[in-house]
Amino acid sequence: MAKDGQPCFLGLDLSTQQLKAVVVNDELETLHEETVNFDTELPEYRTNGGVNIQKMNPGQATARTVMWVKALDLLMDKLIVASVDFSKIVAISGTAQQHGSVYWQNGAQETLGNLDPSNFLHAQLATSFSIPDSPTWMDSTTKSECQAFEEAVGGPEKLAMITGSRVYERFTGPQIAKISQQNPGAYRNTERISLVSSFLASLFLGRIAPIDYSDASGMNLMDLRTKKWHPDLLKLCGPNAAQKLGDPVPSCSCLGMISSYFVERYGFDKECKVVAFSGDNPSSLIGMGIRNDWLGVSLGTSDTLFLWLTEPKPVLNGHILCNPLDSNAYMAMLCFKNGSLARERIRNKYAEKSWDKFNELLESTPRGNFGYIGLYFDDLEILPPALGEKRYNKECQLLSKFSSREIEIRAAVEGQFLLRRLYSERIGFKIGEGTKILATGGASSNKSLLQVLSDTFGSPVYTQKNLNSAMIGAAYQAILGYTREKKETVSLPEPLTPKLVCEPYRDSEEIYGPMVQNLKNIVTRDFE
């Protein structure tokens, strides 16, 4: 329970499969948490994993927009049952799946501003969407539009330089272009276009909320540096796209006060602020506590890196987004497909299917492994685009095998982490004195692996207890937006309570510096 007079903050998370809410105090401690699962609690929409996949066209993955509205009605009811005192909430923010889009019908803005507090939102907004099924981030039906996006600016590298990513079928720009071409009538009847994050913010705001810079950088539409829609890309989206999208705004900026609907229906304070909602990846960066000098490494089925960048250097197949905490900074996401499954296969082949044995063999070999590097791409890798097993000696010559299983194991682990370091540096991350690594995901419980991660990056490695980082990030956005708006100089709570697990050996850079250089030569020579 919130202490008397203590302000509370509401964070929402509209992810693929569910809508969640968390109420926190100003120390970011959770007071309440509620969830609405789409498949099980809204069965009338027949979703599977939160989306509707077309049998005839399996690339098409949509969700009824009104289902998300109804989920909010249900969630609010659950918060009432949990005795949440809405009058104590001073600010709201949220996070949502990136790239998905919502198409508001002409007149929707008017409807949003005049909602009847005695009735549910979904009943009043049922006909407010010109495209009733929102394309989600899982949709991949925009092949031809994608081609047009890259051609419009002179190729994939150019598009990545401008927008932070080469074109992707799930990205919102090509999705809007497809709708305007295939369904010109509905496009014409579209008053405004939202991302899923700004759509959810709109419901609280009582008017269409602007898109924040961070989520806008997942659209292949915005110029990362100027924070404006790129005119040549905007043109591909259809007539009047600029008006339909509205101008993007800084992340975590205060958008205004909560709508009278929520004040009258739920007893919110009319001064309660709505702070710009963002995408789940930017919010995760916030919630994980990644700040300048920190690198987040999630070790899962695939390994994903979250980086804080001051100067972005886009690479093909990596994503650069505007930083949600600092409009002059950037963040990057790098995804490596061959993570835990590749590590497991090596374990099964060389370490009798035992992690203990794997760790024992790993620790019995010298750091640097005599210069041997192993790259094991069981699945077509993203960074670099490569497939198969490759083994190299310290002269970068290709070998058919290594002489022992210990060498195989260390080569595989060092190869993975050196590759992550190579691409981190390429995209603009500066590994230096103050660099710290936050390891999350299943494999972050393996200390022997983390020691190699620490040595290859020459940086200490920390872990933290698992939390829903996107949702905690959303609550943090609310606190940040609120304090910035009130110009309060309170110290913000930090979501991160990291525990130091490993530190690099002193000579790690002497060993791994030259190996990264070798790997760079190998990647350029063999995979690019």
Of residues 20, 166, 170, 343, which one binds ligand XUL by CB under 6 A? 170
- Hey, what are 334's tokens? 């790098």
Q: How far is the CB of 30 from ligand XUL (least distance, A)?
A: 22
Asked if 133 interacts with ligand XUL (CB under 6 A), we say no
Q: Where does 22-155 have alpha helices with state H?
A: 38-41, 65-81, 108-113, 121-125, 143-153
Asked if 281 interacts with ligand XUL (CB under 6 A), we say yes
- Hey, what are 365's tokens? 């070999």
Asked if 283 interacts with ligand XUL (CB under 6 A), we say no
Asked if 214 interacts with ligand XUL (CB under 6 A), we say no
Question: Which three-class secondary structure state does DSSP give residue 42?
Answer: coil
Asked if 190 interacts with ligand XUL (CB under 6 A), we say no
Q: CB of 424 within 8 A of CB of 516? A: no
Binding string to ligand XUL for residues 232 to 271, with x set by CB under 6 A, is what? ----------------------------------------
Q: CB of 418 within 8 A of CB of 396? A: no
CA dihedral 457, 462, 468, 469 (to 10 degrees): -60
Q: How far is the CB of 19 from ligand XUL (least distance, A)?
A: 13
Of residues 280, 381, 406, 414, which one binds ligand XUL by CB under 6 A? 280
Asked if 377 interacts with ligand XUL (CB under 6 A), we say no
Asked if 20 interacts with ligand XUL (CB under 6 A), we say no
Residue 139 vs 150, nearer CB to ligand XUL: 139
> Which window, 199-207, 209-217, 247-255, 278-286, contacts ligand XUL (CB under 6 A)?
278-286
CA distance 115 to 224: 36
Angle, alpha carbons 402-404-405 (nearest 5°): 105
CA distance 375 to 212: 39
Distances (CA, A) of 361 to 300, 352, 365, 451: 22, 11, 7, 14
Asked if 197 interacts with ligand XUL (CB under 6 A), we say no
Residue 143 vs 188, nearer CB to ligand XUL: 143
If binding means CB under 6 A, how many residues of this protein chain bind ligand XUL? 11
- Residue 380: exposed, middle, or buried by beta-carbon count in 10 A (0-12, 13-18, 19+)? exposed
> Which window, 173-181, 277-285, 305-313, 480-488, contacts ligand XUL (CB under 6 A)?
277-285
Asked if 142 interacts with ligand XUL (CB under 6 A), we say no
> Which window, 59-67, 274-282, 389-397, 457-465, contacts ligand XUL (CB under 6 A)?
274-282
| Strand partners of residue 389 | 376
Give the β-pairing of 398-399 and 388-392: antiparallel
Of residues 86, 103, 137, 187, which one binds ligand XUL by CB under 6 A? 137
Report the site for ligand XUL in 58-117 (rule: CB under 6 A): 97-99
CA distance 217 to 233: 13
Q: How far is the CB of 16 from ligand XUL (least distance, A)?
A: 6
Sheet arrangement for strand 398-399: 373-377, 388-392, 398-399
| Strand partners of residue 51 | 48
Residues contributing to the site for ligand XUL (CB under 6 A): 15-16, 97-99, 137, 170, 218, 279-281
